Amino acid sequence: MYGAERQQLLAQQVRTDGRIDVTATSEQLGVAPETIRRDLAALERQGLVRRVYGGAILLERLDFEPAVNERDRTRSAEKDRIARAALDLVPQRGTVLFDAGTTSSRLAALLPQGRDLTIVTNSLPVASQLATRTDVTVHMLGGRIRPATLATVESWALAVLAGLTVDIGFFGTNGFSAARGCTTPDTAESAVKAAMVGACRRRVLLSDHSKYGDDQFARFATLGEIDVVVTDSGLDEQAVAELNEAAIEVVIA
C-alpha cells in the first residue's frame, strides 16, 4: 500500500470512528507504529486530525461528546478489567461516590452484596442499578439531566455536594494528562465533577489508556487531586512514569 493510499484509509477511519489508535492501526495494516505516526502528522498538516497521546482524533469532533451507549461500547473489555480492578478499592463500609462515567457505572454493577455502604451519585444509570438493593443506601444528586451523559448538573447538585464529606470517590474522564489534569468537554459537568472531587477524602480515576493526552475543554481536577489511577495495560511506561512523578498510584488492570 502506498503512503497516499494508507493516509486516505486513515482519513476514512477517523471520520467513522472519531479517533485512531497508533498501535492497533499499525498491527491492522502490518506497518511500524512510526509509519502511522508520520501518516497522522501528514493528516494533521492537512487540518483533518489533531494528534493526541497514542493516536489522533478527528479535528471536527474536538467538542463532540458521544452519547452514553456509544461511550459504553468503546473499549468495553478494557473498561470491564478496570472496573474489576477498582473493586478492590471499595470499602466494606462507609460512603462511596460514583460519578457519571461509564466505567464508574460498571464498577457500581459489580458491588457485592452485604457491604454497609452509603452511595452518592449524579448518574441515572448508577442510581437505577443500585436503587432496588436493600444492603446499600443510595442518594441521587438533583439538578438538570444532561442527555449526553445522563448526569445531573448545575446548582442543585453543587449545593448538596458543598456540605458532604465522602470516604472515596470513583471518577470517569474524557481526557487526562500530566500537563492538564482531568478534563471533560462540558463546563456544567466539569463543575459538578470538581465539586465531587472536593467532597471526597480519597479520589480514584477510572480511565482506559486512550484518554491519556486527549485534553478536553474544561478541567475538573489536577493530577495532584487524584490519589489513584486505574487503567489498562495499553498505557505505556512513559505515561506511567509521568503519573508516578505526580505522586499518583497507578493500578494496571
Q: CA torsion sign, 228 to 124 to 159 to 137?
A: negative
Nearest CA to 192 out of 107, 102, 123 is that of 123
Tell me the CATH architecture of domain 68-252.
3-Layer(aba) Sandwich (3.40)
| Cβ burial, residue 202 (10 Å; 0-12/13-18/19+) | middle
One pLDDT digit (tens) per residue for the chain, 253 residues: 788 889 989 988 887 777 899 999 999 999 999 999 999 988 888 778 888 888 888 765 545 556 566 666 667 899 999 999 999 999 999 999 999 989 999 999 999 999 999 999 999 999 999 999 999 999 999 999 998 899 999 999 999 999 999 999 999 999 999 989 999 989 999 999 999 999 999 999 999 998 998 888 899 999 999 999 999 998 988 899 999 998 899 999 9
Q: Where in the chain is the domain with CATH 1.10.10.10?
A: 3-61
Against a cut of 0.85, is the pTM above it?
no
The CATH number that domain 3-61 falls under is: 1.10.10.10
Q: Where in the chain is the domain with CATH 3.40.50.1360?
A: 68-252
In the chain, the DSSP E strands lie at 19-21, 49-52, 55-58, 93-98, 116-121, 136-140, 144-146, 151-153, 166-171, 175-177, 181-184, 200-206, 218-221, 228-231, 249-252
Provide the total of helices (H) and of strands (E) in the chain, helices listed first.
10, 15
81: its cell numbers: 478489567
